[in-house]
Each structure stands twice: as C-alpha cells, then as structure tokens.
Structure 1
C-alpha cells in the first residue's frame, strides 16, 4: 500500500472513529497555541496527510505574537512567555525592574482586559493590580520619572480622574496624581528632565495657555512654563533633552517663529530657538541622544545638507552630520540605544543594503548593520531596552517567520510552516490535492518562477512547479480533483486554449483539456465530486440550453447535464458531500421553494432539500464535514439558532449550533480538516476580542470511549471496572480476582493478561472476566478405586 493510500485510510478511519465514538471532550474556542499565521487574507485550504496548504493574498508567514513582543537584545529571539496585545502599540518604556509599561490602542493584554495601557511584569505576566481607568482613543507617549508614569495621547479619563490627553500615574497603583495640565489636542511625545516635563504633539492649547505643538510643564505643580517654541503648521513627533537644549523633530517647516525644516533645537529654559539647524527634507519621527551625538530617524532622504536614508547621526553642538550612514529604504519610526548598539525600527525592509524587516541593530559609531534580525510583518512604532531585552511594539502581528508569496504549507502537528515555497505572483483563490500534487487556481500569471496562467500543479513535498500547464484566460475560483481529473470553475471562458465557459475538466496527468464541455452562464464558485457525479454551484442561471438556478449536476466522465435540479434563488459559494447529503452554502434563501437561509442539506439523488435547516443571517462561504458535525464559515453573525461570528459547528441531525464559539471578527473564506484539527482561513483579524489574523487552527474534540469490565461467576474485580478513556490513551489496570478454590481463565475477548491494561484505546470495550473452579488433584482417581472395591 503506497503512502497516499495510507493517508486516505487514516482519514477514513478517523471519520469512522468520530461517527462511532462514545463521547468527546468539548472543542476549545481558543486557537492552538504556537501555530503560525499569515499577514494577509487566506482564500483556500487543503489538507494532505500531516500537511495543510493555504493560498491567498499573504506575503509572509510566522508565529503569531500580537502587537508587542520582548526580544533578546543579542539574538533577536522572542521571549518564551509574554502576553499578546490585541491592538497597535504606540509607546513602551522600561519600569526599572525588568518589566514594561505599554501604551497604544488595544483592549486586551494576554487574557486580561486592559484598555490602552498595561504593565507587564518581569516574569512576562500582566500586573493584575495595575489597571488605570482609561477612557479615550489611544496612548501615544510614555515616560517614567520619580515614581510616576507620564502618559500622553488622546483621552479624557485615566487613573480614576478626568485628564485631557496628558496625565501622571502612580507606577505602583495606577492612580492619577494631582498633576493635571490638560491640552486640547493629541500628545505625541514626552521627555522629562529634572523638574520639567516637555510635551509635543498637535495641540494649540496647554494648561490653559496658547501653545502650538510643544510645551513644558512643572513636574510637581503641572503649571505651564514660559517655554514656548511655537511650532507653526506642523506636529511635533519627537523631543530629546541634552546639554541644556531641547531637540524637536516633526512635520513642521517653521518653529520658534523662524524657518526650520523638520528639526530644531531650543534653549531648555528660555525656549529660545538656537542656531543649531541641520535641516531635513522630510518628517522626523524619532530621537535618541548619547553624549554629543543625536540620532534621528524619520522619512527624510537628506539631512544636514547630505544624503541620509531615513536615519542619521548629528553633532549636538554644531549640527554637523556625522559619518554614520547605514540608510533605510523606508521610514524609521523609533530608536533605542543600549551601550554601543543602536536599535532602529519602522517601515523599512532594507537597512544598510541588508534585508531587515522593520527592525535592525546598528553599530552606534560606524552604522554597520549587526546580525540581529528578528523581523516583523508590520510597522514598528515603539522600542525600549532594559538589560538584555528589547521590547518592540507596533502594528505587526508576526515576529520572525518566512516570506511566502500567496502559497504556504505547514505541519499540522507542530503548527510551524514548512520549507514548501512555490510562490505565486497573484492571489490564490482555490486549492485541491490529488496523489502527491497540490493544484492551485486564482488570479496569478506565474508560480514557482514560471509562467502559469491562473492554474498550476505543485509537488506536495518539494514545492516544485510541475510542467502541467493548461492556463485559463480569467480567474479560477474553485477546484476539485479525482485520481484522473482536475475540475476547474471560475470566471474564465477559455482554458488550455479551448472555449470552456466557466467550468472545465482537465487531465490530471497531462494538463490537456478534456472534451467535457458543458458551460454555464455565469461564474462557478464551488465544486464537489461524489462517485460519478460532479456537483456545481455559483452565480449562473442556465447550463447549455437548460435552466439551472445556481446549482447543477453533471456526469463526471462525460459532462452530460443530469436531471438533478434543486432550484435555488441565490448564489452558491460552498459545497461539501457527506453520507448521501450535499451541504450547500451561499446567499440563497430558498431551495426548491423551501425556505433555507444561506445553508442547506440537499439529497444527492433527488435534489430535494432535507429537513436540516440551521439558517444563517449572512453568506456561508465555506463548509467542511467531520463525523456528526458540519463546520461552516462565512459572513454571518447568527446561525443554528445562536449568535456565531463567522464560524460555527452544526449538528448534522438537528442543525443546531454546538457550544463551540470562537467569535471571528471577519469573514471565514475557507475551511479544511486534518485528523486532529479544523483549520480556518479568511479575512478576519481577531476572535473573541483577541488579535488573531487570517488563519487559525482549532483542535477537534478528542473522542472518548467507555471501558466496562464485569466479573463472571466464581470471581470479582479489583480496580476501576467502569472507565472513560480518550482516543489513543491507556486505561487503568483491572485485576480479575477468583474466589476461593477458583482460578481466572481469560477475558471474554480472549485476552489472558491479568491484571489487564488496555492501551492505545480506539473504541468502546465491554468484557467479562471468566473464572473456573479448581480441580482437586487425585480426586477423580480415589472415587473410582472405592467403587471397584465395593463391587468385588
């Protein structure tokens, strides 16, 4: 038996086990921890053996980390344990004890509700006691000084008090201090020096005084000082204090009532504009100072009169540009310094001519790019260093990982993506597997570096693109494969150079288009094969010259249109076959004049809608059947009589939704089953309030079996005579204990082991211990001799 047959047999046995199991543990709503995800929508999935293949719009895959992550300062490795934050992180600062204060636009940190502010302890846990009463849009700036956390952003209440976009919180309790200057706009940056707090942003009033974009406040009283740089027509993004000067960077072209392009310096006491004037040709986002060196990051390409790609080092005294010149290919948003290492982060994918996805470490003196290279999939907005750890926050959700252009595969046991990497140059909309090949369809014109018009065949192990190349003239939306044929549906009117209206049959070995040529009037969106029949769903109204509203059935070999005609009133997006039933999902509201809202069970022979009627209030886009459960994905918020966001598990008998409820926040486009899990892909970015984008894996309920042991005549049992054991687990020992003058013979299923331990249980077990009375040695012989002597 070859490997593929073994895989099919395993899957078949698994389905049989599900159907016959005595019970099962509840299915978890939480995705499997450690499973990698993608950075863009997933439209298609297919499972084969221990692999699950995904296709879509993504370009990167990796471990899901949330929006903030602690990284090893030397290696870039992600910390083993940290709370995932479910929204963008704009600011972070070390707490001085190995932990972090983090601010942004989020509502959860780990499993705890935290609105825009959180304190993460040194052990990676969320501080259970520190939870400021935050009301507002976001936190953009943080600074720690003298037992207080200064907070800036866009908010109206924090720490139990009304505070207009700036506040000081107790670092232990989270309570707001009396300090309360208030402002009428967003605070973007905060710097503390001695007894003064400097703030920059987009405000025009501060502490009741006119202040445009920058202000300073007494750190004790909250009173606004006379310091007034007056940024005209541009936000202040960055402030740094050193050597009696305050350095300001932002969007301004005029500040201190004089021209200054994006960068300037002021006397820290008087607020007078100094002669320091390097000038830049683009926005400045970030500063960090070391001695007489000011490091600047932003969107500029020239500063100090010389080319500098978005990062530069300036003399704090003269404003002269220093030699350090790594150069980034996109904006630098934040900087942090630790010893001789300068950490830079932002939107770039290249630093110093080396690939660096939005995070890089540089030699602070020379600008040489260091090996440190964690890489993330989205913009980084915040950096802070404490000891041997760098905390990074932003809009990313993946840390590390690998580039994968619209096609990827992962190991279903470990959750990690594999080396399989054919790549496609456009969106992948459909996947199917047959033998050792993965077939892909979509909008692409190239795969694996070779021209492939919207159809490709890829080796399931190596990722090499096969010579199979029929080509389609428009999008392929759905695929189904048998051992001899690949069926394709979509928007095309030609395939393999031959006219085929939106549906075609292609030789699996050669890629040649078969004579099978039925055609439908509008796009085909779903295909399913059962025996010798191909079932088709989509947007069409007729096939050939006969009306078929949104669904049709064909002879899979000849292409002949069959009489089967369920007659729906709306589009069909998904099909799945199980146990003589065709499950259909889409936008329809009736099947054969019976009310069926967007999901139905249709008889494979008659085309009649069955009694099964969960009903959904939004489109059903994906279906998969496992034993007595139908998994459905789509755009709905209610189905099976219960509120369910985008995904649901339905009972095949009643149509009722089970208790399983991940609560996706967006559309589920695709579902796939592997022996131990259900896989969901789509346009969702989170579930149940937690950030989790585009792909998730959920463990299937573990089958549980009943073990029943009884004792026959002349004996009893010792141990647990009634047990419940999960699939693949071992039972507890049970001993057959014979009565006096009796002995154990065997169990009723022929097992002679005693004590008995049933291992790797895969089904219910009911057995009886069989006993027998002992035979007394010599008893029969003595009786015979006595009888003979009496007769004589």
Structure 2
C-alpha cells in the first residue's frame, strides 16, 4: 500500500512550524538560563542509596526562581538493571546498583539505518498501558511499515513523543507523530496488519474507542472503529491479510471467533469479521498459533499443535488457500521439528517467507531433517532444511526478511557465529552474521524493514552504550559515562551488587556484595580512587553484604549482614577508620539488620529490622552519640505495619529526621510508612503523607529533601501519597505532607534511591519507564530551562 497523503499531514506541518518558531526562541531562553545559572556552584553531598543528608546550600537559591520540577526526566544514559545508590561530586555523578551496561535513552522502539546506526529523531515511547502496571510487559510488541516510510507501532504504552497515545501509534516518515490517528484501547496491542486504509489490531483488549471489541479489531485510518468484529474468546497472536484484502487470517488460542467454533486458526471476512465457512482446519494438541505468513496461495502456520486435520504435523504446517482445497494441508511439507529428542516439546514462535524459503524460529534443535538450533530455513516445497544455519543462542520472538537478508529478534546472545545481543542481521543463504549490530539492552519482540530503515521494539531502553559492572561515573555536563571503570566483580562470576556509596575528596567508598573491585580482591566494601578507578589499600573485608555506609569525619559507619569487618567481630553494625579500615571499639549489639545510616553533627541514626539495641528496646530506629558511641534516649517507638516493620530510608533537614519504611505509628501517633520526627524529643511532626499501595502497604524506600527544605521527595512502592494518586515517586510539602504537582508516574517499578543536589533530583531504582519517558534505572529531573551542567533536555 502507498500512503501518499497520510492522514494528519497538514496538521503535522502546522505543528512543525510552531516547533520551528520555538527553536528560534530557544537560544534566547538558554542564554538567559545559563547566565542565571552561573551563580550556582556544584556542591559535593554525601548522598547515597535510600537517603539524603541536606546541607545549607544557599548557592542553590537560583533554583527557586524556576517552576516546580518537570514530570519528564532529562535525557541521560540509562542502565540495564537496578540502581541502588547515587552520589555527585563536582561534575561527576557516581551510580551504583546491579547492571551490566549503560547506554543512551532510546525507549522501547528504535529506528536504525540499514547499517545499524541509530536514527535519533524518533519520538520516545513511554509509560505503561491501562490494563497492566508495567514491568516486563511494558514496551513495543508489534510494528509494521505504513508503506510511505513511516510505521505503525503497537504495544503497551501511554505516550509517544510526549503526546498521550494508548498502545498504538502512527509515526510519519519525518518521525513526527500522526495527530489524527488516536485510537484508545484498554489493553495492549500485540499484532498489527495493514490493508489499504484499514489497520487490523490484535491483543488482550476488550474496548477500542468506547466500542466493544474482544482481542481483535479493525480501525479505519480516517479515525474510527469499523464494522470488523470477529469477537475472539481467547488470545489472538497472529494476523495476515490476503492480497485482495478480502480475508483476514487470525491465529491464537481461541475456541470461538467470527461467530463460529475454531481451533486457534480462522479466516475472517474483512468487512464484518464473520468466519469463512470453507476455511476450517482443525488443530489438535492444545493448539496455539503464534505466527502466520502468506506466500501466494499457501498459508504457513506456526505455533504449538500436534495435528492439523488429523495429519501429524508438529508446530508447523502449510495450508492451501482458496478453491475446493481451502484450509487443507499441503502434502509433502513436513519439517517435523523436535526439541531435546521429543517432538512434543517443539514450538514455532516466528515465521517469514522469502521466495522459495520459509524461515522459522522457535524452540527446537532439529528441523527439516537437520540439526538446527532455534532458527532454520526450509524449502517451501517439502520442508527440508536449507543451508541456512545461524546456530542462534537464546529464544526467538520475531523474524523479518528483506530480499536475501534475515532479521531475528528475541532474547538472543549470539547468531551466525558472532556475539549479538537481542537482534541480528543474517545472510539468508548460510546464516552468517553481517556487521549490523545495534546492541540493544533488552529483548526484541518486533521487527519491520523498509528499503532504507529497520524499526525494532521490545523491552529495551537503549542501544549501543558501554559495559559497566554495577558501578559507573556519569559526566554531569552531558549525561554520558566517563572512562572511569573500577569493574566490580561478583562471586563465582556473577554480577556485583553495589548497595551504597559515599565520597570524600578523591575517594569513593563502595558497599555491597562483591569479591573484587578496582583491580583488587575486596570483600563487600572498598575505597576506590575517583581519579584512576583503582582500589586503595583500605580493606575492611566484610564477611557478608554491606548494605549501608555513612561518613562522619575520619569514621565510616557500616551496616549490613556481616559478622566480621575491619579485622574484628562486629555483627551487623560497625565503625571503621577511614585511615586504615580497622574497626573502632564501637560495637553495638542489634538483634536485626542495620539497613540505613545517616549522621548529624553529634549523632548517628540507624534504621533497619531490629527490635533491640544493647538489650534496650528500639523498634527499627535508634540514635547513637558520635562522641562516645553510646545509645541515646531518643526513641520514636515505631509501631509494626501490616507486614511487620522496617526502616529503609532516612533524611535529615534542620531539626527533623524523615523516616521511611513500613510501620503504622510513631510514639503512639498514627503515621503510615513515612513521617517527620523531631530530633529533640522523637515526637512526630505534622508531616503526614500516608503513602498507600497494594494490600494497604505502600512502603517507602528512599527520601531526600530540596535545598530550601520546602519539599520532601519520597520513592517506594506506593500508589497514592499526600492525598493524591502518585506512582512510586512524589514531591511532598514539608508542612503537612500533602502532594505537590510533581508527578512523573513511574511505570511498573520502584525507587530505591533519591538525591537532591544542585537543583537536580536524581532517582535510581528498578523501573523501566516514566509516563513521559522510557528512562530505565536512572533519572534526573531539573527545574531549570536547561540542565545545570548541560544534560540534554527531554
């Protein structure tokens, strides 16, 4: 099909004119902003995971000139795993967690040139759709060409290019979003097919534009749901449209569709969706159809089934289309796949046809009479294996072909004799890998190809990037990683875990679970040079994970699951000399873990899962004298929550310590999971945001306070806080805990650490996306017109 005049083009051009005008004005705004920002001086704060210590940062007064923090994070590098700790020193931001790569933010949908290089102008896809909370299901599931250089994209999302768009969108060839294509669905879109001016959609939805449609629908590009209404009673996983546009073939796990009983495969009238009576192949063996491909008068069917029309055909079949043989099995095409020697284990998840070759991907190690690992080429005539043998490692979700080139996507780690992460381009003759290597950081679910570009999508947030083992230094000037790389290593070749960071001068203290860092063996705690990333001789060697650390002068306080540290027997909590790493005489006895530590001028505050300290009752929170290490009388007496109680986060501002975790009261006063507590008498302040979440929980994992002390930022597992709906991250008025307008809407994850520094809120955690940006793992929010030190605007 050719969309010579795509819908909405005039409107898009008008919008682009306004953008061009804004582009002319932007330099004037930037000059004004930069000039004003010159009075702001980068400060070093010992902020780290699960807490923030707030200093009197009067140099940040300029930030109060700007409006509240935006809901869209800045475009920085992202991680492929969780972030637990963040600390900024001057122009460098140190980030720790459990990840293996960092890369530029792309979101879950990416367009690349045929050589694999990124086309950077694509609109961001972000957010989780309305029928899911996010997590691994968030992202792109389907993509097809619009025939005019653009794309139709389906999946699970709420925005594209900053525009509210639910689960399906049209991107023009100039990378603008079609403003007139705006269907609203209550579930994800997992399959797309285009015929003329009709877009067919399939997925787990029941309503589109207010009209009931069960798992499959037709949408006219003019902008309305058409009369195509097959009403499938189960999932529809695959679509294909006949060349004349009169028949839509649907595959899935349904038993009824188009008003007729069908065993996972049907031919539907493209007008009203009724099932074609002549096409009724009977699939058996708990049938599920995952992929369809039409080649002339033959329909290739892939999935999980044992017979078709009583003919033994495992997982793949070829069926006649049209005439007296409509829906009957093509004799002789019998690839007979098996997996681990058992035919019942084999399944097909992806199909693509090019000329006389059928390419198949799925779970098998034998196909077409030959040994083939997960991906094979078959002769279309008889199903025998061709010479195409890429020996793919990992699961395959999608295939696309363009001439003699095959694209494969999924959870792959190698293909065609080369290391390839999640997507590969292969020679269709022998399966050898080409130089095409975008290197995304997550699984690929869908691929579409035109003469000039490849669009792929899935559960990914970045392509390219660099390897970093759970610890990285980010340049505050442009949001990119520096060359600094201490290369932390976990036990038995596993991933290192970084739980907390503290910085003093040119030394970065690192806590977590690791066996080596900075080129030296180190057990769970280390000091690393910020200049050359090497470990210093400081080596307390903890016997188990160190979860939290805090600096006070020449002492580093440490908490975790250890029994020995600094050469001494110290259970769960210790004080270490920053000079030589030896444990001081301080040895408090806790009956549960110490999970978070902060220090004031004269006290050490410790939160965790303990009930007693030195034999005295202290429920989850205690304060010690820095002068002599004694347990003070300060005792907030936290009451247990629904799932017990725990303190996960602490932050100090003025004479108030903010306490986050899971509990129900402070000294007999009702407070749910987050409270401000007076540091003098341990009584709660009026600050009472009452976070709530699943099962009435809503635990708090991270807290930080703005430089002016007016706003408390909280992160955790909540769905509401401060009297308003907020997902996992919120700003709260310090006076009473009511929610501010800051509402970035974390999609399908949680926040583990927050740091407010130099007018910027840094957030780390285990999240795939915010509502307006697919910013995985690490995010920065700035109220300035430009980022303090130059991070790219959203």
Same fold? TM cut 0.5: yes
- Asked whether the 8 Å contact 2:676–2:688 carries over to 1, the reply is no
Aligned residue among 122, 125, 129 for 2:180:
129
Aligned residue among 153, 164, 169 for 1:102:
153
- Asked whether the 8 Å contact 1:429–1:476 carries over to 2, the reply is yes
Structure 1 match to 2:223: 174
Structure 2 match to 1:389: 453
Instruction: Give ranges in structure 1 of 5+ residues lacking alignment.
Output: 704-725, 730-792
- Asked whether the 8 Å contact 2:745–2:771 carries over to 1, the reply is yes
Structure 1 match to 2:50: none
- Asked whether the 8 Å contact 2:88–2:757 carries over to 1, the reply is yes
Aligned residue among 88, 91, 103 for 2:139:
88
| CA pair 532-161 structure 1, distance change in 2 beyond 3 A | closer
Tell me, yes or no, if structure 1 residue 544 matches structure 2 residue 614: yes
Distance in 2 between the 1:53 and 1:216 partners?
57
Distance in 2 between the 1:150 and 1:693 partners?
31
Tell me, yes or no, if structure 1 residue 280 matches structure 2 residue 337: yes
Structure 2 match to 1:418: 482
Aligned residue among 112, 115, 118 for 1:77:
118
Structure 1 match to 2:28: none
Query: Secondary structure of the equivalent of 2:704?
Result: strand
Structure 2 match to 1:623: 703
Q: Is the deviation greater in 379-388 or in 647-656?
A: 647-656
Distance in 2 between the 1:667 and 1:452 partners?
29
Structure 1 match to 2:102: 61
Tell me, yes or no, if structure 1 residue 185 matches structure 2 residue 234: yes
Using structure 2 for the length normalisation, give the TM-score: 0.80
Structure 1 match to 2:21: none
Tell me, yes or no, if structure 1 residue 664 matches structure 2 residue 746: yes
- Asked whether the 8 Å contact 1:18–1:627 carries over to 2, the reply is no
Pairing of 1:598-677 with structure 2 (within 5 A): 598-602=673-677, 604=679, 606-609=680-683, 611-617=685-691, 618-625=698-705, 626-629=707-710, 630-640=712-722, 642-652=724-734, 657-665=739-747, 666-677=749-760
Shift of 1:466: 3.6
Query: Secondary structure of the equivalent of 2:58?
Result: helix
Structure 2 match to 1:31: 72
Q: Is the deviation greater in 421-430 or in 296-305?
A: 421-430
TM-superposition CA deviations, 1:607-639 (whole Å, max 9, x none): 443745234334333222323233333334555
Q: Is the deviation greater in 194-203 or in 257-266?
A: 194-203
Structure 1 match to 2:193: 143
Structure 1 match to 2:15: none
Q: Is the deviation greater in 76-85 or in 686-695?
A: 686-695
| Structure having the higher Rg | 1
TM-superposition CA deviations, 1:421-454 (whole Å, max 9, x none): 3234243222222222222222334445754332
Shift of 1:66: 2.8
Pairing of 1:723-738 with structure 2 (within 5 A): none
| CA pair 257-420 structure 1, distance change in 2 beyond 3 A | farther
Query: Secondary structure of the equivalent of 1:70?
Result: strand
Distance in 1 between the 2:730 and 2:306 partners?
55
- Asked whether the 8 Å contact 2:140–2:445 carries over to 1, the reply is yes
Shift of 1:240: 1.8
Aligned residue among 70, 85, 95 for 1:44:
85
Shift of 1:130: 1.6
Distance in 1 between the 2:401 and 2:116 partners?
16
- Asked whether the 8 Å contact 2:94–2:474 carries over to 1, the reply is yes
TM-superposition CA deviations, 1:79-123 (whole Å, max 9, x none): 323231433322211111111112223333333333332222222
| CA pair 324-405 structure 1, distance change in 2 beyond 3 A | same
Pairing of 1:459-538 with structure 2 (within 5 A): 459-538=529-608
Using structure 1 for the length normalisation, give the TM-score: 0.81
Q: What RMSD over aligned residues (CA atoms) do the two structures have, in Å?
A: 3.3
Query: Secondary structure of the equivalent of 1:518?
Result: coil
Structure 1 match to 2:36: none
Shift of 1:13: 13
- Asked whether the 8 Å contact 1:628–1:651 carries over to 2, the reply is no
Structure 2 match to 1:153: 203
Structure 2 match to 1:759: none
Pairing of 1:187-586 with structure 2 (within 5 A): 187-195=236-244, 196-219=247-270, 222=273, 224-233=276-285, 234-269=287-322, 270=325, 271-273=327-329, 274-281=331-338, 282-421=346-485, 422-425=487-490, 426-447=496-517, 451-556=521-626, 558-569=628-639, 571-586=646-661
Query: Secondary structure of the equivalent of 2:144?
Result: strand
Instruction: Give ranges in structure 2 of 5+ residues lacking alignment.
Output: 1-40, 48-52, 128-137, 339-345, 491-495, 641-645, 692-697
Query: Secondary structure of the equivalent of 2:189?
Result: strand
| CA pair 579-116 structure 1, distance change in 2 beyond 3 A | closer
- Asked whether the 8 Å contact 1:278–1:319 carries over to 2, the reply is yes
Query: Secondary structure of the equivalent of 1:681?
Result: strand
Distance in 2 between the 1:653 and 1:156 partners?
44
Distance in 2 between the 1:458 and 1:76 partners?
35
Distance in 2 between the 1:157 and 1:489 partners?
51
Structure 2 match to 1:772: none
| CA pair 216-585 structure 1, distance change in 2 beyond 3 A | closer
| CA pair 286-667 structure 1, distance change in 2 beyond 3 A | closer
Distance in 2 between the 1:243 and 1:435 partners?
70
Q: Is the deviation greater in 66-75 or in 417-426?
A: 417-426
Structure 2 match to 1:783: none
- Asked whether the 8 Å contact 1:424–1:448 carries over to 2, the reply is no
**Greater RCO (CA < 8 Å, at least 6 residues apart):** 2
Shift of 1:9: 10
Shift of 1:359: 0.9
| CA pair 416-646 structure 1, distance change in 2 beyond 3 A | same
TM-superposition CA deviations, 1:201-255 (whole Å, max 9, x none): 2223333333322222454675504233322122121222224322221112222
- Asked whether the 8 Å contact 1:648–1:660 carries over to 2, the reply is yes
- Asked whether the 8 Å contact 1:405–1:424 carries over to 2, the reply is yes
Distance in 2 between the 1:161 and 1:536 partners?
56
- Asked whether the 8 Å contact 2:150–2:172 carries over to 1, the reply is yes
Shift of 1:30: 2.3
- Asked whether the 8 Å contact 2:162–2:772 carries over to 1, the reply is no
Shift of 1:689: 7.2
Distance in 1 between the 2:572 and 2:560 partners?
5
Distance in 2 between the 1:349 and 1:127 partners?
35
- Asked whether the 8 Å contact 1:141–1:152 carries over to 2, the reply is yes
Q: Is the deviation greater in 222-231 or in 504-513?
A: 222-231
Query: Secondary structure of the equivalent of 1:420?
Result: coil
Q: Is the deviation greater in 252-261 or in 530-539?
A: 530-539
Query: Secondary structure of the equivalent of 1:329?
Result: coil
TM-superposition CA deviations, 1:121-143 (whole Å, max 9, x none): 222222111223535x3333222
Shift of 1:500: 0.9
Distance in 2 between the 1:303 and 1:561 partners?
70
Distance in 2 between the 1:290 and 1:639 partners?
55
